Structure 1
Amino acid sequence: MSEDPFDHVAFLSRSKTRVCLLALLSDRGPTSRRTLRDRLEASQSTVVRSVQALERRGWVERDDGAVRATGTGTLVADEFCELLDGLDETTDLGPFLQWFPHEEFDLDLTHLYGATVTTPSPGDPYAPAREQTELVRTASRVRALLPSIDIDGTRVAHERITNGDLATEVVVGHAVRETICDGEYARLFGEQIDAGSSVFGLDEALPFYLGLDGEGVVQIGVEDDDGVPQALLETDSEPVRTWADDVYRSYRDRATELAPGDFA
């Protein structure tokens, strides 16, 4: 029989019952066929065929009227279930990964497993923006890279900053820099700086939104080519936090701090 790993993956992928049966035996140890039928909600013939197929691979064996996974079978079950878990996580991250420029940033994407991804929908097109504003509404300290900006979120931040409830340090891209130095934005940002906030301006565009609160939460927001928000990822993963700190500092260190006079 071929020992090609692809052959093993194909063998398991063709039958969900085989995968579930092998995982069940790996977790439970020796199990009767009746129990297997009950736990898998499968017919007797299906269980018999699956046991025989796995037995031919050397992954299960009979043990005094019961069936149990061999050492090899247990390892196969663990590895295959880990693969399935990873694929499930990748599917959940899909709307974010589609627009995140991961080739340009040294981020181990497996550290994003378990993150919450918020996407727009026809009934709630502003869901990502609302989650972004929620961080500003609830945190006591926020650092952020802002590739774009909206007046509603700015007003929320302004109220909390001028009330002494929020400390912020933000880096803005060149387009946002021009926007916030005019009209209502200029007044709001000027008052925020007077209240102790820091604003840094870049002469380049920012590749994505990045928000960091003072408690370890990281938000990463991505937009499509037209600047429309497509997904907001939120995680408290420590490796992601370390990566986010480094990315934030790299942009802040080459930006210019804006003074109150810039908003006059």
Structure 2
Amino acid sequence: MSATALEYLAASSVRPDVLAVLREHGLLSLRDLDDHVSASRRTVKRTLSAMESRGWVRKVDGGYELTALGETLLSAYERFRERSRVASRLRPVLEHVPASMFDFDIEALTDATVVAPDDDPAAFADRMVALRADANRIREYAPFLTLDSVRQLAQHVENGRPSPDTTIIVRTDAPPQSSPEYRERFRTPVEAPGVDIRHHPDGPMLGFGIVDGRAFLGAAADDGMPCFLLESEGSALVSWVDRQFENCLAAAEPLSVERS
């Protein structure tokens, strides 16, 4: 879609509305168009004249109809608006994802949700704990695990709960703001036979994973601590996360008890 066409349609809501009404109703007179568009007849007439000169509409038997060119450009404009809306809503996460990694259509994330800190700085960690709580299969890459996550994994092992099929890859086992408790609790899942924790020091600085078929993608704040979480069960994000995880898994090494 040319910049000129995009700029023209975006400059006034009347313009895409006129095209959309013609697409829905077919051939319409100026009077009928005026009844369907929230604008003065003078504005509608001026808009039709400009669009006729562009080849988007044409006069037929005293009325106006949409041309194939007008339909094509309207569809492209609507898709741009929808993609922009999705991208704006998911900006807190997507602005941290390198373009080289993001190889699927943004429209696939239309139904994705974002967990943001807002009034609860712990929202990210709380949601991750909730996702893992009753999971049967966990495949997760993280620059590091939060203390809440380490506590959860350790408690599962200590309570003798049946271990899910769990594979976790970390970029570092010594995250920012780590504590003696963190180091001690971290050893428990590392030593557990049902949890496979691996180390990939050159992994990306964003987290992602799949928990029972639900994919997530996490972003960090300026201090390096996780803050935003994007979730979706859509096949596009699930497939994307699975590819990224397999790439990290191929480069990761088992994390030894001595190292942890």
Aligned residues with identical type, % of pairs: 24
The answer to whether structure 1 residue 135 and structure 2 residue 131 are counterparts is yes
Q: Is the 8 A contact 1:22 1:73 kept in 2?
A: yes
Residue 156 of structure 1: aligned partner: 152
The answer to whether structure 1 residue 41 and structure 2 residue 66 are counterparts is no
In 2, the alpha carbon distance for the partners of 1:23 and 1:133 equals 46
In 2, the alpha carbon distance for the partners of 1:10 and 1:205 equals 40
Residue 67 of structure 2: aligned partner: 70
Deviation at 1:227, TM superposition (A): 0.6
Q: Is the 8 A contact 2:190 2:255 kept in 1?
A: no
The alignment's TM-score, normalised by the length of structure 1, stands at 0.80
In 2, the alpha carbon distance for the partners of 1:125 and 1:183 equals 21
Deviation at 1:106, TM superposition (A): 5.7
Of the three residues 23, 26, 31, the one matched with 1:29 is 26
CA RMSD of aligned residues (A): 3.2
In the alignment of these two chains, the number of paired residues is: 257
The answer to whether structure 1 residue 13 and structure 2 residue 10 are counterparts is yes
Q: Is the 8 A contact 1:146 1:173 kept in 2?
A: yes
| Matches for 1:82-97 after TM superposition, within 5 Å | 82-97=79-94
Amino acid at match of 1:168: T
Residue 198 of structure 2: aligned partner: 200
Deviation at 1:212, TM superposition (A): 1.0
Deviation at 1:158, TM superposition (A): 4.0
Q: Which moved more, 1:217-226 or 1:247-256?
A: 247-256
1:193-251: per-residue Cα shift (whole Å, max 9, x none)?
53611111234464211121232x21111113421334222223434333322322232
Give ranges in structure 2 of 5+ residues lacking alignment: none
Deviation at 1:191, TM superposition (A): 5.3
| Matches for 1:142-181 after TM superposition, within 5 Å | 142-160=138-156, 162-164=160-162, 166-176=164-174
Q: Residue 211 of structure 1: SS of its match in structure 2?
A: strand
In 2, the alpha carbon distance for the partners of 1:168 and 1:178 equals 24
Amino acid at match of 1:126: A
Q: Which moved more, 1:238-247 or 1:176-185?
A: 176-185
Amino acid at match of 1:196: G
Q: Is the 8 A contact 1:177 1:201 kept in 2?
A: no
Residue 258 of structure 1: aligned partner: 255
The alignment's TM-score, normalised by the length of structure 2, stands at 0.81
Residue 208 of structure 2: aligned partner: 210
Amino acid at match of 1:55: E
* CA pair 191-116 structure 1, distance change in 2 beyond 3 A: closer
* CA pair 16-157 structure 1, distance change in 2 beyond 3 A: same
* CA pair 220-136 structure 1, distance change in 2 beyond 3 A: same
* CA pair 66-23 structure 1, distance change in 2 beyond 3 A: same
Q: Residue 168 of structure 1: SS of its match in structure 2?
A: strand
Decide which structure has greater helix share.
Answer: 1
Deviation at 1:109, TM superposition (A): 5.3
Deviation at 1:57, TM superposition (A): 1.9
In 2, the alpha carbon distance for the partners of 1:195 and 1:45 equals 76
* CA pair 164-111 structure 1, distance change in 2 beyond 3 A: farther
Q: Which moved more, 1:89-98 or 1:34-43?
A: 34-43
Q: Is the 8 A contact 2:117 2:123 kept in 1?
A: yes
Q: Is the 8 A contact 2:209 2:215 kept in 1?
A: yes
* CA pair 191-226 structure 1, distance change in 2 beyond 3 A: closer
Q: Is the 8 A contact 1:160 1:166 kept in 2?
A: no
